[in-house]
Structure 1
């Protein structure tokens, strides 16, 4: 006789869910048993912390486009999911979270782990329900899956542990709740913009003389159409971080990233354009867009709620990026004047030269750019790359060039630390035949260090580069630039990550000097299985925007004298490329 837990897991299988990430607990014993008896059809991936399980579910959804699923026990187990679920909410990844509860008739009686997780999840979830009995599960399980996929967000089901084990025959079904009335099917269709809006957008772009394009994660899968639009419009393409893999970094129209972690060429494109085409992005840093009134705006997004959210647009095209671009391209006239594009391309070449200066430094201590470039240059054509949040994100954004066939993901709008390793593990679970790589910082990696044992357990072919400067370096620089405060509270107790990797059954390598980089990376990349490469780097190496804003420069100068190690920092910003970036804010 099927129980509520059986109905839930059978429903997941019918929705073609192949993987569930989670950690067992007494609040989900019934669900664990249903998974155990169906392990030939659905795989349970045990994590070491529920937060990682939620990050993995989010990342799995991003990597595959499928529904990501995570489970956690009652009380603290469910609460631990929140960081990963907010990651899914803010980056619009479809995730189903299932949490346990105490016995249904002891809820709100101050019993053990008596936390109303439906109330806790009320902000993060697009669908949020407590399952009352097995008959109720028949209706809710499929609806939760459909809601997450349709609304591209988090769905949550909270199930008391005794309800999980309740047979369907024991449920007191109401007369209106007929068995089988809710189909386990997702009904989808193409959504395309109105012809009049397409005509309006094309006319605006055809009239402009200096068009720039901003592409984000919503443009993944539309590379051909995006490249065609860029060619017709003679437009440079700046990429939001989540859209790093949209176009290869060596594409003639690509200017790399935008914003704090971006390139000078992307910033100049935004400062000089007279029209902006935004494709699948709500890049949050408004200060890096053109000034309102400077450029006319066109935006393509599958979610109409996000049109005009960051920059005022005159034409909003609600629809799939590839299909919409295809229709738009049919209306565009190839621009004969390519001067704007050529100027930005020349700026991009200068930027690459500046980055090469940082990457090729040979002085001690070892520079993080050197290691990141060498690591990225070794990635095979089918590589999957994840990064964490912090200075390591800047290194991945600026010093690792994506090629066709490679994929990249990170915690975007949430920008959460501790995401990099779970993202990489999820990639290995989703695509067992592909090599997986990650660039993380010592701060974020330490938060979920034990999860490396999960990579070992499941044989993830992971090469993980740890940028070790014993600092929360991005935070330290933000303290100085944003408010003019000296660095404080950012120093970290050192951890030997290479030895920790060995202790967990993987392999560990350490790089401390420039002359070790190539040989150690060659050895690490030739080593099968999960590998940690610990690079001990210069903690004084600056993390700066491509063009330092004047107020940031003033704040930085104010904070510098009272910051520990300010002499080394002063020497770092006196050298290229930091010197050029800094000068813009001091003139």
Structure 2
């Protein structure tokens, strides 16, 4: 007779899972044995074991993001479960379906202060949309099915706690009896469409607007055609959240990319000028960049009702799947003949792209311009490429310079904004799409956290991938750059070297030690050739780019607070103050010149009005 572990392995497969990200331990030992037995019978799950449980949960979250499937991670009891928390919070905060299976000490040990026994249900209750301990074989089916079903419907991580003794118990056939649920491994549809009366209300609001803007989030993934069709009908400008770059191709002229500190000036102009705002599958968190209350009529379409109407006073909230809801809405939209609003967005975006290129071509005394590195990468992205970014300054340059074309994918840790996620995201993407080029972009501080370890995981599994090309770009500036700038611009404090300095490491040498190609880039002129060499190599390449830490991640509109805090920080004897002033002045001067050029090209006066 099969054990409960044997049953759970098969049930996970019944839910369509083919790969798990796992790390072993005695608390999950019986389940690991069942996984090995199933693999020998060629009926098991592909077992991927990275170097740390945190990487397991981040990889599971990334798998869900890139594929739309449920990501699954497995770890042992208390220490393994605790290590997975960061990745599970990443799933929670970015609304991703993940199931975590964690070990536990035997049932008789619960509450007795034995080794590695802790109250995992209490610990994991905050992160999980569902958390339950399997306390008997008869309960196992219902717990596993409920975990998967809840993760898919409520879009978050579910946790199954699996005591060691229960793992090895015999699994009976379930018969009709009191307190025993006989459940199904069938997910309910989440293709929800609001009532027709609500659809008509939304159409009336949009049809009445003359300056419509769509803010598109990752929740609109899979709805690219519907979003573009709706925007075409109502003459809307398009803004994407950072995680939604892949939803709207960059060649759509009225797509002004992102909003806010990592965004574009055309996006800021849309927010200041729109009269109708439609949020599509996004919980955009920075309300300070949205219109003033009362300026625009607003609608939100989302599968997370608790996150609707939070950032801006929406007039109508539609609980529904973006694709299905837009499909129902489109027949009610009236084709606009005046497309001046949409055309203005497109014209301004051309100007902005010129400004981004000009910023990328600046040179700095203390290292390579990081913008140049991303600018040259963007020009060389192959078809169907996948790009990951980390939560530091790499996210700035990813937002400003990477333009995902049709068929490309890109992602990062969004609302959690966890450092180090770029590496497990890239590795998970490579497992999911082994025939595609994957490019990880990460800072040296994040790379030192767990990224260096993950080169070992890549070495271990490289032979399993159809196309072995994987490129890791490391911005090597010996500084926690994003935090350094935040200290200046948000808190008016000088950089504190004791906390911010990152020990310099020969990252290219570390790659070479593992048998990979390492490329050191120390001048701007070396950047194009480094990317050409990396994309010509059918294997793993680490580009160790010695970049400047003083290139300012300038927002599209410099606020008085931003400038005031930066000036105050420099007056407090910031250790990099001279370089920061010089490099910021250079960037600001280039920004001003390019905007004047653009206005002259568009025939506009300095106040933005047409001549």
Give your verdict on TM over 0.5. yes
In structure 1, the partner of 2:581 is 570
Deviation at 1:507, TM superposition (A): 2.4
In the alignment, the residues of structure 1 paired with residue 228 and residue 575 of structure 2 have an alpha-carbon distance, to the nearest angstrom, of: 47
- 8 Å CA contact 1:572, 1:578 repeated in 2: no
Cα displacement string for residues 23-72 of structure 1 (whole angstroms, at most 9, x for unaligned residues): 11111111111111112231110010100000000010111111110011
In structure 2, the partner of 1:519 is 529
Unaligned runs of 5+ in 2: 463-467, 596-606
**1:582–1:59 CA distance, 2 compared to 1 (3 A):** farther
Q: How does 1:358-437 map to 2 (within 5 A)?
A: 358-364=359-365, 365-437=367-439
In structure 2, the partner of 1:70 is 73
- 8 Å CA contact 1:553, 1:582 repeated in 2: no
SS at match of 2:214: strand
Q: Could you state the TM-score of these two structures normalised by the residue count of structure 1?
A: 0.96
Deviation at 1:210, TM superposition (A): 1.1
Deviation at 1:310, TM superposition (A): 1.5
In the alignment, the residues of structure 2 paired with residue 578 and residue 89 of structure 1 have an alpha-carbon distance, to the nearest angstrom, of: 42
Q: How does 1:244-263 map to 2 (within 5 A)?
A: 244-263=245-264
In structure 2, the partner of 1:496 is 506
SS at match of 1:225: helix
In structure 1, the partner of 2:161 is 158
In the alignment, the residues of structure 1 paired with residue 73 and residue 170 of structure 2 have an alpha-carbon distance, to the nearest angstrom, of: 23
**1:134–1:250 CA distance, 2 compared to 1 (3 A):** same
In structure 1, the partner of 2:29 is 29
Q: 1:461 and 2:436 equivalent? A: no
- 8 Å CA contact 1:301, 1:320 repeated in 2: yes
Q: Could you state the TM-score of these two structures normalised by the residue count of structure 2?
A: 0.92
Deviating more after overlay: 360-369 vs 99-108: 360-369
- 8 Å CA contact 2:364, 2:548 repeated in 1: no
In structure 2, the partner of 1:351 is 352
Deviation at 1:291, TM superposition (A): 1.0
Cα displacement string for residues 244-284 of structure 1 (whole angstroms, at most 9, x for unaligned residues): 11111121110011111110110110011111111111110
In structure 1, the partner of 2:113 is 110
SS at match of 2:20: strand
**1:405–1:148 CA distance, 2 compared to 1 (3 A):** same
Deviating more after overlay: 432-441 vs 269-278: 432-441
In structure 1, the partner of 2:540 is 530
- 8 Å CA contact 1:144, 1:155 repeated in 2: yes
Cα displacement string for residues 55-105 of structure 1 (whole angstroms, at most 9, x for unaligned residues): 000010111111110011111111000000000001111101111112221
Deviating more after overlay: 259-268 vs 295-304: 295-304
Unaligned runs of 5+ in 1: none
In the alignment, the residues of structure 1 paired with residue 589 and residue 296 of structure 2 have an alpha-carbon distance, to the nearest angstrom, of: 30
Q: How does 1:96-175 map to 2 (within 5 A)?
A: 96-168=99-171, 175=177
Deviation at 1:336, TM superposition (A): 2.4
Deviation at 1:352, TM superposition (A): 1.0
Deviation at 1:353, TM superposition (A): 1.3
- 8 Å CA contact 2:21, 2:47 repeated in 1: yes
In the alignment, the residues of structure 1 paired with residue 261 and residue 364 of structure 2 have an alpha-carbon distance, to the nearest angstrom, of: 26
- 8 Å CA contact 2:358, 2:594 repeated in 1: no
**RMSD of aligned Cα (Å):** 2.1
- 8 Å CA contact 2:75, 2:103 repeated in 1: yes
Cα displacement string for residues 424-455 of structure 1 (whole angstroms, at most 9, x for unaligned residues): 11111111222211111111111112012111
Cα displacement string for residues 219-257 of structure 1 (whole angstroms, at most 9, x for unaligned residues): 111111111222222221111011111111121110011
Deviating more after overlay: 148-157 vs 335-344: 335-344
Deviating more after overlay: 50-59 vs 316-325: 316-325
In the alignment, the residues of structure 1 paired with residue 376 and residue 314 of structure 2 have an alpha-carbon distance, to the nearest angstrom, of: 41
In structure 2, the partner of 1:224 is 225
Cα displacement string for residues 464-519 of structure 1 (whole angstroms, at most 9, x for unaligned residues): 11111111111111111111111122111112111112223332211111121122
Deviation at 1:579, TM superposition (A): 6.2
In structure 2, the partner of 1:293 is 294
In structure 1, the partner of 2:303 is 302
In the alignment, the residues of structure 2 paired with residue 582 and residue 413 of structure 1 have an alpha-carbon distance, to the nearest angstrom, of: 34
In the alignment, the residues of structure 1 paired with residue 456 and residue 290 of structure 2 have an alpha-carbon distance, to the nearest angstrom, of: 42
Q: Of 63, 68, 75, which aligns to 1:60?
A: 63
In the alignment, the residues of structure 2 paired with residue 583 and residue 480 of structure 1 have an alpha-carbon distance, to the nearest angstrom, of: 26
In structure 2, the partner of 1:475 is 483
SS at match of 2:471: strand
Q: How does 1:574-585 map to 2 (within 5 A)?
A: 574-577=585-588, 580=591
**1:297–1:153 CA distance, 2 compared to 1 (3 A):** same
Deviation at 1:422, TM superposition (A): 0.3
Aligned residue pairs total: 583
In the alignment, the residues of structure 2 paired with residue 328 and residue 142 of structure 1 have an alpha-carbon distance, to the nearest angstrom, of: 34
Deviation at 1:138, TM superposition (A): 2.5
In the alignment, the residues of structure 2 paired with residue 408 and residue 220 of structure 1 have an alpha-carbon distance, to the nearest angstrom, of: 12
In structure 1, the partner of 2:15 is 15
In the alignment, the residues of structure 1 paired with residue 404 and residue 589 of structure 2 have an alpha-carbon distance, to the nearest angstrom, of: 24
SS at match of 1:261: coil
SS at match of 1:9: helix
